[in-house]
Structure 1
Amino acid sequence: MSVLNQIVKAYDIRGTVHDEVNATVVHALGVGFANFVTASGADRVVIARDMRPSGPSLVEAFTRGLNQHGVDVVDIGLASTDLMYFASGTLGIPGAMFTASHNPAGYNGIKLCLDGARPVGADSGLAEVQSVAQSVLDGDEPARSQRQGERTEDSMLDAFVEHVLTFVDLSEIGPMRVVADTANGMGGLVVPAVLERLDGVDFEIMYPELDGTFPNHPADPLQPANQRDLRARVVAGGFDLGLAFDGDADRVFVVDETGNGLSGSTTTAILAAATLRQHPGATVLHNLICSRSVPEVVVEHGGVPVRTRVGHSYIKQVMAETGALFGGEHSAHYYFARNFNADSGLIASLMVMAEVGRSGTPLSELRAPFERYCSSGEINTQVHDALAVIDQVSGEFADRPQDDLDGLTVDCGDWWFNLRPSNTEPLLRLNLEAPTRDACDDHVAELLALITS
């Protein structure tokens, strides 16, 4: 795979690339994005970056490509991804966030959006950006603008904090103790800026230093090992809950007062119930690997559940199409209509805190009604031909209801599974849910035997 494809293919627009990538490639992407946004009528782009050491040089190269083609740049500097989306939405201009999110040190990448934080995905502009960038690398750069674009600096942090605080009734967040592990990522900037505004909240930040070498542990809270320090600290310090953010702080995993983590599905269900209490009848999205408990909770609270593919660009698009007020992914991305349909770990954190405060019960008790099944978690298996294996598995379950919204989903009555190919690696991703742990483990063994055969 070429360096350019590495940048633009993985995770929709969330590509990663080693630091030693030539800045020429990122400059070419800047030209490609300039060509794309000007065709849509935009003449300004907001740019932000996370704390990775390569960020400043990549931002400079990208900015140069935009400026040379007549596009002005508003540089908001160090920011979380949800802060960049807020800036795009508030300013009404496209945006670019330089981050590799949860990926290891030594990687970087770009998340792009149109004005209003609207997604740029594989079939909504990314191909055009890539095509022009490739032309530039091949020596065929589009004619430069007669007007040189300008670069200005701004800070949107204070406005973002005010925006986040509007999502909850602050009086419901009663006295509580909260600890957040920001993993040396951008949460170290935005999380304390919000928590310090909450009266009665005693908080502690673990690993708050912005350090893209991640000296303490990787900024990937999806992996249980990276929540170990937080879970121990919650229990040792007697905290009411813990928050684990990823590198660009657009995701958050929650830990209850006993040190046990909530899945993204459980948090999605809790936030769906909170949304529907305030907005009866609202539409709520959930991706297809979320627990069955999520649509059940939505229906029980009078809402309309809508099932989507995995991935932020798909969910944002469906939110816009359906008018959904909230959406959640099992991977702990949580989307809010009033946040320009974008995901935010901070908004989700505040809403969970408000639910704990409003209920007057510990999170370990609050979560219980939302956890009804046992899940496998995502299990990755390396295969030679992912599509062939999916076809084979589909044939083995030919008598069961199936759909291909995203990979293969099979409904086996009291249990179900989804099998999806990775976009970037020769891997199949299995997610499975069943009524009990024993049943879940047995069905996982059955599926893995089929996959590896």
Structure 2
Amino acid sequence: MSVLDQIVKAYDIRGTVHDELNADVAHALGVGFATFVTAAGADRVVVARDMRPSGPSLVEAFTRGLNEHGVDVVDIGLASTDLMYYASGTLDVPGAMWTASHNPAGYNGVKLCLGGARPVGADSGLADVKSVAQAVLDGNEPQRATTPGTRTEDSMLDAFVEHVLTFVDLSEIGPMKVVADTANGMGGLVVPAVLRRLDGVEFEIMFPELDGTFPNHPADPLQPANQRDLRARVVAGGFDLGLAFDGDADRVFVVDERGVGLSGSTTTAILAAATLRQHAGATVLHNLICSRSVPEVVDEHGGHPVRTRVGHSYIKQMMAETGALFGGEHSAHYYFARNFNADSGLIAALMVMAEVGRSGALLSELRVPFERYASSGEINTKVDDAVAVIDRVSGEFADHPQDDLDGLTVDCGDWWFNLRPSNTEPVLRLNLEAPNRDACDDRVAELLALITT
């Protein structure tokens, strides 16, 4: 698979490509993106990068491709992905964020959006970018502009901080102690910039140095092992809660005062309830991997739950189509209408802090009503033929309601599961939920036996 194919296939699941991505490919992508955005009526692009060592050279080559084809570049330098989305939304120009998010140090990639932070995914423009980029790599570059574009530098961090602070009533965040593990990622730039603005909040940042070699642990908080340091520090330091950010800081996982992590579904449910308390009757999105507790909570708080496919481009599109105020994913991406329908780890973190402060309860107490079932988490199994396995599993559950919104989802009454193929690997991803841990473990064993038969 070519590096460009990898970019297109991986984009919607926040994946990125290996270090085969070099300056020539980045330049070709700049040309492809220039062609795409000019066809959409834009002549300026905001560009940002994370702290990976390969970032500067890739951004330089990408910018050159844009400039050569008449597109101006506003370079905001080191940034979190949600800061780039804010810049795209505020300036109403397309954007490009060079990052490999949670992936290892040798990886890099690019997340693209149109003006207003509108998504560009595999089926909404990315294939067009790839087509032109491939032509450039094959020696068939389109004619360059008569007048090249310009490059200017800007920093939008201060404006972004002010924007994030508008999502909560700051008076509700009473005295509390917070520790954030930014894993040497971009959270080290943006998280303290927000937390230091909160009166009465004592905070500590773990691994704040921007270092794309990740000397302490991988910047992937979805994996429990990468939350180990944070959980220990929360307990040892007597903190009220902990925050674990991924490499580009658009995701956040929350840890309570006992050092026990909240799932993405639990945080989604908490933020949904907070949203609906302020906006009765609002629409809230949740992807189909989220716990059943999420739509239950939305219903109980008078909202309208809408189930979506997994992936940010789908959720952003549905946010726009439905007028939803909030959306959440099991993977800890949280989307806000007032944030140009884009996700933000910082906004989510601040809202959780406000909920703890407002309630006057410990986070371990606050979470209880939102956790109603036992979940398997995402279990990946290598298979030779994903379609054949899904068809076989579907046949075994033919007597139960099914849908194919994203892979195969089967409703078995008091338990359910989703089985979907990876976009980038020969694996099937199983997510299952049941009334209790024993039932969940039994059902997982049953499904894995079917998958591996």
Q: Which amino acid aligns with 1:96?
A: A
When normalised by structure 2's length, the TM-score is: 0.99
> Aligned equivalents of 2:159 and 2:407: distance in 1?
40
2:384–2:426 Cα contact (<8 Å) kept? yes
Return the letter of the residue paired with 2:418: N
Residues 328-352 of structure 1: per-residue CA shift (max 9 Å, x gap): 0000000000000000000000000
Equivalent position of 1:200 in the other structure: 200
Q: CA deviation at 1:288?
A: 0.1
Q: Which moved more, 1:146-155 or 1:4-13?
A: 4-13
Query: In the alignment, what sits opposite 2:57?
Result: 57
| Cα distance in structure 1, aligned partners of 2:385 and 2:43 | 44
1:181 is matched with 181
The question of 1:252 aligning with 2:252 is answered yes
Contact 2:11–2:121 (CA under 8 A) maintained in structure 1: no
Specify the code of the residue in structure 1 equivalent to 2:284: V
1:103 alignment partner in structure 2: 103
Tell me the CA shift for residue 197 of structure 1.
Answer: 0.1
Instruction: Look up the match of 1:23.
Output: 23
- In the alignment, does 2:317 pair up with 1:317? yes
8 Å CA contact retained: 1:375, 1:431: yes
Supply the distance in 2 between the matched residues of 1:71 and 1:206 (Cα, whole angstroms).
39
For 1:387 and 1:207, locate their aligned partners in 2 and report how far apart those are by CA, in whole Å: 42
- Alignment CA distance shift 1:15-1:429 (3 Å): closer
User: How many Å separate the matches in 1 of 2:283 and 2:79?
Assistant: 30
Distance of 1:373 and 1:147 partners within structure 2: 60
Q: 1:19-38: CA deviations, max 9, x gaps?
A: 35331111111000000000
**Deviation by residue 1:47-66 (Cα, 9 ceiling, x = unmatched):** 00000000000000000000
Aligned to 2:363: 363
User: Paired residue for 2:283?
Assistant: 283
- Provide the aligned length of Structure 1 versus Structure 2: 453
Task: Write the distance in 2 (CA, Å) between the matches of 1:294 and 1:15.
Answer: 25
**Do the aligned partners of 2:181 and 2:207 also contact (CA within 8 Å) in 1?**
yes
Distance 2:21 2:305 in 1: 43
Deviates more, 1:382-391 or 1:22-31: 22-31
Cα contact 1:7–1:14 (8 A) shared by 2: no
- Indicate if the aligned counterparts of 1:15 and 1:110 stay in contact, CA closer than 8 A: no
Please give the residue correspondences for 1:386-425 in structure 2 after superposition, counting only pairs within 5 Å: 386-425=386-425
SS of residue paired to 2:231: helix
Structure 1 residue 14: Cα displacement? 4.1
8 Å contact 1:13–1:122 — kept in the other structure? Answer: no
Structure 2: which 5+ residue stretches go unaligned?
none
- Distance (Å, rounded) in 2 between the aligned partners of 1:214 and 1:404: 38
Q: 2:441 is matched with which residue?
A: 441
Shift of 1:282: 0.1
SS in 1 for 2:306: strand
TM-superposed CA distance for 1:305, in Å, is 0.1
Q: Which amino acid aligns with 2:205?
A: I
Distance between the aligned counterparts of 2:206 and 2:275, measured in 1? 30
Distance 1:32 1:436 in 2: 50
Identity %: 89
Per-residue CA deviation, residues 86-134 of structure 1 (Å, 9 max, x unaligned), is 0000000000000000001110000000000000011110111011111
Deviation per residue, 1:137-191 (Å, 9 max, x gap): 1111111111100000000000000000000000000000000000000000000
Number of the residue aligned with 1:84: 84
Secondary structure of 2:296's aligned partner: helix
**What's the offset of the Cα at 1:15?**
4.6
Q: Distance in 2 between matches of 1:421 and 1:93?
A: 34
Distance, in Å, in 2 between the alignment partners of 1:192 and 1:371 is 30
Deviation at 1:13, TM superposition (A): 7.6
TM-score of the superposition, structure 1-length normalised? Answer: 0.99
Where does 1:103-182 land on structure 2 (aligned, <5 Å)? 103-182=103-182
1:67–1:148: 8 Å Cα contact kept in structure 2?
Answer: yes
Change (3 A) 1:245 1:35: same
Letter in 2 for 1:396: E
Aligned to 1:307: 307
5+ residue gaps, structure 1: none
Q: SS state of the match for residue 21, structure 1?
A: coil
The answer to whether the 8 Å contact 1:13/1:111 transfers is no
Please provide the CA RMSD for this pair.
Answer: 0.8
Cα distance 1:265–1:15, how it changes in 2: closer, same or farther (>3 A)? closer
SS at 2:129's partner residue? helix
Distance in 1 between residues matched to 2:15 and 2:73, nearest whole Å: 22
Q: Does 1:228 align with 2:209?
A: no
**Counterpart of 1:38?**
38
Q: Is the 8 A contact 1:410 1:416 kept in 2?
A: yes
CA distance in 2 between counterparts of 1:265 and 1:378 reads 13
Contact persistence 2:419–2:430 (CA under 8 A): yes
Equivalent-residue separation in structure 1 for 2:210 and 2:69 (angstroms): 33
Q: Deviations over 1:274-321 (max 9, x none)?
A: 000000000000000000000000000000000000000000000000
Indicate if the aligned counterparts of 1:374 and 1:435 stay in contact, CA closer than 8 A.
yes
* 1:451 aligned residue: 451
**Contact 1:269-1:293 within 8 A present in 2 as well:** yes
Q: Distance in 1 between matches of 2:430 and 2:19?
A: 31
Pairwise CA distance, 1:227: 0.2
Q: Secondary structure at the match of 1:96?
A: strand
Contact kept, 8 Å, 1:70 with 1:146, in 2: the verdict is yes
d(CA) in 2 for partners of 1:383, 1:20: 26
